[in-house]
Amino acid sequence: MAEIIQRDGTWTFDGETVRIVPGGKAHPVRLALGELAVPVEALAGISFEQDRKGGRLRLRLRGGACPVLRAADGRLKDGSDPYVLAVEKDRTGVAEYFVDEVRNALLIEQVPEGPVDRFLLPGPALPVSGGAATARRPSTARPSGSPGTGRPRRPRPPAVRSPSRCRGSRGCAGCPR
């Protein structure tokens, strides 16, 4: 088992699944996606890209495995990409160990690198909300104040234009033209 804990989040690998939990300082997109469990079958590879401030741990998924990446179509920046973890300078050794563990599991499981025919990861949860409506029967729901709800609609005041606002070319009733 390998685990790396950073400000952006925590990645844990148990031999079968990489569990990604976003940290409190993560990008709002990553926070909205929440915890992700990536099975080894969905992985094409993993890399650690080292730089002077530490580096980045990057999971590469097989084509078509993730509905989020498919919908984003490559437009996610590193900060919002849920499969990239910023690694601090003093944790580069842990990141390299994490990469070795995942690569060994990919070799043992003999996971192909090609695309998959179905999503291997679930999509994000869809928000469900309701507004001002009344439910009559299990199959009918109508907005409040619409015909058939029993409530009368408020009458609209008649449209009255003041003479100073009238801009009609033929003039109108009450217009000095």
The one-letter code for the residue type at 152 is: P
Span 146-171, average pLDDT:
61
CA proximity to 92, closest of 49, 60, 59, 58: 49
Asked if residues 42 and 64 have their Cβ atoms less than 8 Å apart, the reply is no
Given pLDDT bands bounded at 50, 70 and 90, which one contains residue 71? confident
Q: How many angstroms separate the Cα of 123 from the Cα of each of 13, 38, 143?
A: 21, 12, 30
Contacts 24+ apart (CB under 8 A), 98-102: 98/2, 98/3, 98/4, 98/11, 98/13, 98/46, 98/48, 98/57, 99/46, 99/47, 99/48, 99/57, 101/2, 101/13, 102/2, 102/13, 102/18, 102/40, 102/43, 102/46
Classify residue 69 by its DSSP letter: H
Is the model more confident about 79 or about 131? Answer: 79
Query: What pLDDT, on a 0 to 100 scale, did the predictor assign at position 120?
Result: 84
pLDDT(22) > 90? yes
Asked if residues 84 and 30 have their Cβ atoms less than 8 Å apart, the reply is no
pLDDT averaged over every residue in the chain: 81
% of the chain residues with pLDDT over 70: 72
In terms of pTM, does the model score above 0.85? no
Q: How many angstroms separate the Cα of 62 from the Cα of each of 12, 114, 118, 155?
A: 19, 6, 11, 59
Task: Spell out the CATH class of 2-109.
Answer: mainly beta
d(CA 121, CA 123): 7
Given pLDDT bands bounded at 50, 70 and 90, which one contains residue 26? confident
What is the chain's Cα-based Rg?
A: 28
